[in-house]
Amino acid sequence: MRPNLALLTDFYEFTMASGYFEQGIGDKTAYFDLYFRKIPDGGGFAIMAGLEQVVDYLKNISFTKSDIDYLASKGIFSKGFLKHLETFKFECDVWGIEEGTPIFPNEPILVVRGPIIQAQLIETMLLLTINHQSLIATKANRITRSAHGRTVFEFGSRRAQGYDAAIYGARAAYIGGCSGTSCAIADKEFHIPAAGTMAHSWVQLFPDEYSAFCAYASVFPDDCVLLVDTYNVLKTGVPNAIRVHNNLLAPMGKRLAGIRLDSGDITYLSKKARKMLDDAGLFECKIIASNSLDEYIIREMLLQGACVDTFGVGERLITSRSEPVFGGVYKLVAIESGNEIVPKIKLSENVSKISNPGFKKLYRFYGDDGLAIADVITLYDEVMDNKKPYTLFHPVHTWKKSVVKNFTAEPLLKRLFKKGECVYKSPSLYDIQKNCRKKVDSLWEEVKRFENPHEYYVDLSKPLWDVKQKLLNDYRVEP
C-alpha cells in the first residue's frame, strides 16, 4: 500500500551510512543476520511471518527528492552523501525462511549480504516487519491450537495499535491459523475471508430486541447470526432468536445460522443456549463466542464443556497482549576482505546475547517419522550428507550429544534477492497458512505445550562452533 518507506528507519542508520561513505568504505561487503532471542509467552516455537512485505519493501526502496530535502535540512550530511542516496539502487543478496515455518531463538531467519550502507539502512524496516507479523502469527497459532479444530476469527481491528497493525495483523493471524477476520480491507488486500453480523447498537436502535432481530433476518436471511446478549441472553436473547427462526426464517425455507455471545459467563451461557436451541430443533445453529478471549481462556472454556463452535478473538490476539514484543535483532556477522569472508562476533556478559559469527546456512533435520529432530546452523560452505550419521551437540553444554541416522536435512533459508534482483515469488496466503499447519504438525507434541514446553534444539556445526570459540578466545580480556 505504501511501497516506498526509505525514511522509515532509525536516524542512526543514516549517521552510520554517512560515516561509511565519508570513510570510503560504503561499498564494503557486509553480512547481517536477523534473528530473535526469546519465544513469546514462554512457548516452544514461533511462526515466521512478514516476508512478503519485506520483499515488497526491498523491491521498491528509493529516496525521493522530498526525502533528500529532509535529510539535507538536518545540516549534518555532505552533498556527496546526499547525491549517493539520490542514486540509491538496492544491490544486496537476501535469504529468508519462508512464512508459516516454525522458527527458534538464535537461528538466522533472514540473512543480508551486500554493500554496508545498503545493508545498514534497511535494518529498521526489516525488524519491524518481521517482529510484528511473527509476533501476531505466533499468538494466533497458539490460540487456534487451543480451539482444537473449532473456527477462530480475528476480531481485533479496533484494538490494534494503528491501521497498519490492524491490516498486517489480520494477515499474520491468518498465517497462524485463523479462518478469517472482521477487517474488510484485509479481505480486499489479502483475500482473507471477512465476516461480521451486528453490534449492540443495532439491537438498541429498534423498539425491542425481537423487532431488531426480525429486521436483520429479513435483510440477511441466508446467513443470519444474531447477537443475543444486549439485554438478557437466556430470558430474551435466545428465545427471541428462536422466535425469529420459527416466525420469519422457517416460512422462507431458511434456517437460523447462529447466535453470538459477547459477555457474561460464556461457558455457562453457551451450554444453556445449546440446550434451548436443540430443544427447538435448531441443532445446526452455531454458537459464536467473543469478548477478550485468548488461548488460556479458550482452553479452560472447552475443558469446562463450553458449547462454542466459533471463537472471535480480538484485543489479546491483535496486540499479543500477554507479551507484545517479539525481540528480533539484526547483527553484523561477517565482512569481506578481498576474497575472504571474515567472521565477526558481538560479545556480552549475557550469554544469550553473544551472536553466532560468519556467513551461515540453516538446516532442519527430520526423522523417518517426518518429525523435526533439531535445527543445525552451519558455515555457508559446509556440505550436509544425509547418508552419514551426524553428531548433534548443545552449543553451550557441549557434553550433551546425540548421533542421528537416517535423517533428512532440509535447508531453510531460501534466496529472495540476487544482487538486488528479486528471485523469489511469494506463495498465496492460503498456501502459506497450509504450510504453517503442516510444519507445526511436524513438531513433537512436547514442543507444542503452552507451559514448560520441551526445548527444541538449535545446534551449531562443529566448524561453526570452532570459529565462534576462536573469536571468543581472541576477544577475551584478561583481568
Q: For 117-154, how does the pLDDT look when each residue is reduced to its tens digit (9 = 90+)? A: 999 999 999 999 999 999 999 999 999 999 999 999 99
Pairing of strands 29-36, 110-115: antiparallel
Cα–Cα–Cα angle for 143, 136, 432, nearest 5°? 90
270 and 147 belong to one structural domain: yes
| CA 479 – CA 457 distance, rounded (Å) | 34
The greatest distance separating any two alpha carbons of the chain, rounded to the nearest whole angstrom, comes to 89
Q: For 423-446, how does the pLDDT look when each residue is reduced to its tens digit (9 = 90+)? A: 999 999 999 999 999 999 999 999
At which of 257, 291, 318 does a domain end? 318
250 and 155 belong to one structural domain: yes
| CA 45 – CA 263 distance, rounded (Å) | 32
Question: Which stretches of 177-319 are DSSP H helices?
Answer: 184-190, 200-205, 209-219, 238-244, 266-279, 295-303, 315-318
Residue 3 pLDDT grade (very low, low, confident, very high; cuts 50, 70, 90): low
Task: Give me the sheet containing 408-411, strands edge to edge.
Answer: 408-411, 360-366, 372-379, 458-460
Q: For 296-349, how does the pLDDT look when each residue is reduced to its tens digit (9 = 90+)? A: 999 999 999 999 999 999 999 999 999 999 999 999 999 999 999 999 999 988
What pTM value is reported for the model?
0.96
pLDDT value, residue 352: 82
Q: For 30-83, how does the pLDDT look when each residue is reduced to its tens digit (9 = 90+)? A: 999 999 999 999 999 999 999 999 999 999 999 999 999 999 999 999 999 999
Three cell numbers at 171?
494477515
361 in any annotated domain: yes
293 and 344 belong to one structural domain: no
Percent of the chain with pLDDT over 70: 99
Residue 386 pLDDT grade (very low, low, confident, very high; cuts 50, 70, 90): confident
Residue 387 pLDDT grade (very low, low, confident, very high; cuts 50, 70, 90): confident
Q: For 104-117, how does the pLDDT look when each residue is reduced to its tens digit (9 = 90+)? A: 999 999 999 999 99
Q: Over 60: is that where the pLDDT of 269 sits? A: yes
Separation of CA 451 from chain center: 20
449 in any annotated domain: yes
pLDDT value, residue 479: 46
145 and 98 belong to one structural domain: no
Percent of the chain with pLDDT over 90: 94
pLDDT value, residue 21: 98
Looking up residue 450, the CATH number of its domain turns out to be: 3.20.140.10
- Report the pLDDT averaged over residues 276-282: 98
At which of 303, 318, 333 does a domain end? 318
Q: Which residue has the cell 546526499?
A: 82
203 in any annotated domain: yes
310 and 336 belong to one structural domain: no
1 in any annotated domain: no
At which of 290, 318, 346 does a domain end? 318
352 and 398 belong to one structural domain: yes
57 and 119 belong to one structural domain: yes
Full residue range of the structural domain in which residue 170 is found:
137-318
313 and 402 belong to one structural domain: no
58 in any annotated domain: yes
431 and 470 belong to one structural domain: yes
58 and 192 belong to one structural domain: no
4 in any annotated domain: no
479 in any annotated domain: no
245 and 383 belong to one structural domain: no
Looking up residue 234, the CATH number of its domain turns out to be: 3.20.20.70
145 and 120 belong to one structural domain: no
- Report the pLDDT averaged over residues 186-208: 96
2 in any annotated domain: no
Structural domains counted in the chain: 2
